[in-house]
Amino acid sequence: MASLVSSAEPTSVDVPQRPGGLTRLSDAVATFDSWLAGLLVAAIFALLIVNAATRALGTPVIWIDELAIYAMIWAAFLGSSAGLARREHIAVTLLPEAVTPRIRAALAVGVDLLLLMFTISLGLIVWRWFDPITVLGAETLRDFSRATFNFIYTEPTTTIGMRKVWFWLIMPYACLTLNLHALRNLAGSVRRLQEHR
Amino acid sequence: MLVAGSFVTLIAIGFPIAFALAATALIYIFASDNTVLLQSYAQQMFGGLENYGLLALPLFILLGEMMNSGGIGRRLMALSLALLGRIKGGLAYVNLVANMFMASILGSAVAQITIMSKMAVPEMERAGYPRDVSVAITAAGSVLAPIIPPSMMFIIFGVIAQIPIGDLFIAGVVPGLILFVAFIGVIAFLGQKHGFPTTDAMTMKERGRALIDALPALSIPVIIIGTILGGIATPTEAAAIATLAAMLIGLFVYRDMSFRDLAPAFVRAARNAAIVLFLIAAAQVFSWVITFENVPATVAAWLQSLTSSPLVFLLLLNILLLLLGTITDPIPAIILVVPVLLPVAMDTYGIDPFQFGVIVCLNLTLGLLTPPVGTGLFTAALMGNVRAERIAWLIVPFFLASAVVIVLLSLFPPLTIGLKGLLE
Amino acid sequence: KDYRLGLITPPPHQWTKTAQAMADQLKKETDGAVNILIFPSGQLGNEAQMLQQLQTGALDFAFLTLGEFSNRDPNYGIFLAPYIVDDVAGARKLLQGETANKLLDQVDQFGLVGLGYGMAGMRQIVMANEVDSVDDISGKKIRTIPFAPELDFWKKVGAAPTPMPLPALYDAFANGQVDGMQIDFEGTWNSKYYEHADTIIESNHMMFPMIAVASGRSWQQIPEGDREKVEAAFDSFLDELIGSYASIDADYLAQLKTTDVPVITVGRPFFGDAIDEWYVTWREEAPMLTDLEAEAEKIRN
Ligand code: NA
Ligand code: NA
């Protein structure tokens, strides 16, 4: 898979002559997320070496595996969100490549519109899961869990000693950025369809 | 039907596969009127990645990045050249042997094509080989990458099948060697047909120099195997240690890279890993929803009604996989097929999960080289500046050889599970 | 109506077989009104994910180990007290006792209805090296499950508890990334861990309970009459499951004795002061431990 991405710099396909605010924001966020994901991979790399070393010395550190896994999950959500901005996700482009440029442009608008609908749905699902308004109104987190059967804020991690919600927070963040990139992609493909008129 | 239809439509119009899986899961939830699942949807997506085995993925990708930047591949190519004597089509064999070396370190065929194309194709062209044939041999050789351990596909298969990845790696060794021998046969045939030039043997002095130069590069597979068998590291940690070694070798021994190259390598590894991981997360949500609706059990019952013979089942499976491989790449295909068919293979037909895994991974790897969707094929074509259709045609003999190997693996389980048994 | 029961054990495991047999009987008894589909091998997610689906009502029933509970309320860890019972028969009585029942009722704090206890085989120790005394274990890396009470036990023994996912265990043990493990005879035999062992220690030092639960949400939806039948079925099948472990442990031990790996039998004194120290710590961490000890004392006499 090493050739999916050729460089760490933004290689957007949607950059018009003068990038608009939306494009620039999406690029900036994608670049930031990519570097953060790279940093997390470096952290995983270091954690695993420390894990092997401490175990070899007979003093294993029990929380390293779990922390490395969460770092990987953060990197996955950050990197794949950035990947949406750069249209790097694997797709079957057989049909789009077989049709006329104009139909292709129209198809792209359809795909990007559906994608935006999906990212909005994902955002709503995550919103309902975190249920921020109800939880702010609740007396205690325990009351919130009892009343809603939603235990998101009380779920513990296994070995780290932190609540899991801190790690789950990557999902609302990724939803925000995914929606931003999906919107930018849609704007770009609409623009290209107009050029074909 | 509505669900299957929307999935196929999404894929056909070019919707990214990962998002199509996640969206289809959502559609299924509404179609089956189980909206209570929405409350668990996000947690399932996150939870699909909470798996220790998956850590191997970013690390083997990182290892590939470091080896590429650090000049390790180049030394292995030179060593392969030094190993051979005066022989017709020598460089073609060198290409294959170098591919074998790389396969023992790299987990991904596409990564391998990228590295090998840069090294092998110009060299072969200079020596008088037709360029299209050189590119085709390079592309075919990369099929070894996912079969000879370590392998990203085995990692993903092991995670989904919940079987030890180390054992799966061992199960791949013999099939990898068989494939290597089969490809040597194909190259000998091509050498006659295309009149490959003869390579002169190197002097002993040149050979010695190439060997000494390659020693640090050879330490990478030694480190991976040594740290695992020596009780120091799990396969995942071994990849981390090997990455550290590749980094140090590239920086201080070969000096092919500088500290400035490090950060971009980490970022590239993170982004490539993220694309695959997100696909896995989406597939987990999808597979959770279809499991909840008891679809795998239904498929199992249907298959059982078709045949009771494991061999017929494997034959049907191979045809299905080859077809699937033409329209998609291996990793998404594994994710689609394994959760549904592995339980059927094991429980209904009594097929060993390791045999099943090697067959599925080899078969789907060929999909990387088949048009219309063949990332490996297009990468090779792009890097070698040859038309993809031409390469696809030239690859046919390798493809047939692989098909024979797949049939052998299906007929004779000891080829895959025998070595594991011997080691125990 | 279709209901769903999730568990992490694979199809051949005793828990899964029990669940399937119970589902079959309930289906027959209710003419299909209660049809429980079994999802083994964590097909619907790991225990944390199953717990969440029980809470939302997506999943109706589950067999859960104590890990997720003791992570949330240390009192659920008291069953992992070393040598709280001598054998399966003792465990069977203790799991029907007052403290056990109180904890079973208290799963309502997690949005669940407790239906009863089951168990797996008594915990034993499998080591790669020869073991004569506890000194041969101290300083070694022992694979455990990451439950606080279990980790603490191994720390107090002087070993290095090393959590590790089960699929990775065979290789890790073969290659020496871990030196030993806490496990039952069933797992030792079925996963062939004995192949790389130099000592199997029949210690019976810990029990390993399972809690069978229903989702609080979906329990309300089940018709009254069906609920009684479900409760009765869980009761009888779980009790049978626990009882069966006496012979399961014995059978697998007998099989292991056919290998050339030496089996040594040890009791509480083998571990020195470690166990007393464990009780001192956990009486404070988990106040209900004291009650459980009193009950266990009665059972023993
Ligand atoms: Na490989
Ligand atoms: Na293909």
d(CA C181, CA C160) in angstroms, rounded, equals 11
Q: What is the pLDDT of residue A10?
A: 42
Q: Tell me whether B343 touches chain A (CB under 8 Å).
A: no
Q: Mean of the pLDDT values across residues B108-129?
A: 81
Give the residue among A121, A139, A130 at the shortest CA–CA distance from A178: A121
Residue given tokens 């849609």 in the structure block: A186
Q: What is the DSSP string of B332-378?
A: HHHHHHHHHHHHIIIIIT---HHHHHHHHHHHHHHGGGSSSS-HHHH
pLDDT level of residue B424 (50, 70, 90 thresholds): low
Residue B15 in this model has a pLDDT that exceeds 50:
yes
Residues of C in Cβ contact (< 8 Å) with B163:
167
Q: What is the pLDDT of residue A164?
A: 93
Choose between A158 and C80: higher pLDDT. C80
pLDDT level of residue C273 (50, 70, 90 thresholds): very high
Q: Tell me whether B142 touches chain A (CB under 8 Å).
A: no
d(CA C294, CA B70) in angstroms, rounded, equals 66
Q: Tell me whether B21 touches chain A (CB under 8 Å).
A: no
Residue B92 in this model has a pLDDT that exceeds 60:
yes
d(CA C145, CA C148) in angstroms, rounded, equals 9
Q: Mean of the pLDDT values across residues A52-80?
A: 92
Q: Mean of the pLDDT values across residues A132-143?
A: 87
Contact B288 C44 (CB under 8 A): yes
Residue A8 in this model has a pLDDT that exceeds 50:
no
Q: Mean of the pLDDT values across residues C122-126?
A: 96
Residue C281 in this model has a pLDDT that exceeds 50:
yes
Residue B114 in this model has a pLDDT that exceeds 80:
no
d(CA B64, CA C267) in angstroms, rounded, equals 52
Q: What is the pLDDT of residue B372?
A: 65
Q: ipTM score of the complex?
A: 0.88
Residue B111 in this model has a pLDDT that exceeds 80:
no
pLDDT digits (tens, 9 = 90+) for B204-230: 898 899 899 999 988 988 898 788 778
Give the residue among C144, C54, C97 at the shortest CA–CA distance from C242: C97
- Number of Cβ within 10 Å of residue C46's Cβ equals 15
d(CA B94, CA B191) in angstroms, rounded, equals 13
d(CA B199, CA A57) in angstroms, rounded, equals 51
Highest mean pLDDT pick, B6-20, B375-389, C273-287:
C273-287
pLDDT digits (tens, 9 = 90+) for B192-203: 888 888 877 788
Q: How far is CA C216 from CA A99, A156, B72, C53, C57, in A?
A: 54, 21, 59, 11, 7
pLDDT level of residue A17 (50, 70, 90 thresholds): low
* B42 token code pair: 């996000």
Q: Mean pLDDT check: name the lowest of B319-333, C260-274, C280-294.
A: B319-333
pTM, entire model: 0.86
pLDDT level of residue A7 (50, 70, 90 thresholds): very low
Number of residues assigned to chain B: 424
Greatest CA separation for chain A: 70
Give B313 Cα–ligand 2 centroid separation in angstroms.
22
Choose between B176 and B116: higher pLDDT. B176
Residues of A in Cβ contact (< 8 Å) with C141:
55, 58, 60
Between A59, A146, A156, which is nearest C160 by CB?
A: A59
Give the residue among C249, C92, C236, C138 at the shortest CA–CA distance from C184: C249
Choose between B168 and C272: higher pLDDT. C272
HEC-encoded secondary structure of chain C: CEEEEECCCCCCCHHHHHHHHHHHHHHHHCCCCCEEEEECCCCCCCHHHHHHHHHHCCCCEEEEECHHHHHHCHHHHHHHCCCCCCCHHHHHHHCCCHHHHHHHHHHHHHCEEEEEEEEEEEEEEEECCCCCCHHHCCCCEEEECCCHHHHHHHHHHCCEEEECCHHHHHHHHHHCCCCEEEECHHHHHHCCHHHHCCEEEEEEEEEEEEEEEEEHHHHHHCCHHHHHHHHHHHHHHHHHHHHHHHHHHHHHHHHHHCCCCCEEECCHHHHCCHHHHHHHHHHHHCCHHHHHHHHHHHHHC
Q: What percent of chain B has pLDDT over 90?
A: 28
Number of residues assigned to chain A: 197
Strand pairing of C112-127 and C199-215?
antiparallel
Between A62, A154, A155, which is nearest C151 by CB?
A: A62
d(CA B94, CA B84) in angstroms, rounded, equals 7
Q: Give the residue numbers in C contacting B (CB under 8 Å), as ranges.
A: 4, 11, 37, 39, 41, 43-46, 48-49, 52-53, 56-58, 165, 167-168, 170-172, 175-177, 192, 195
Q: Tell me whether B206 touches chain C (CB under 8 Å).
A: no
Choose between B314 and B83: higher pLDDT. B314
Give the residue among B173, B117, B168, B163 at the shortest CA–CA distance from B140: B117
Contact A96 B23 (CB under 8 A): no
Highest mean pLDDT pick, B234-238, B298-302, C260-264:
C260-264
pLDDT level of residue C292 (50, 70, 90 thresholds): very high
Neighboring chains of A (3 or more beta-carbon pairs < 8 A) = B, C
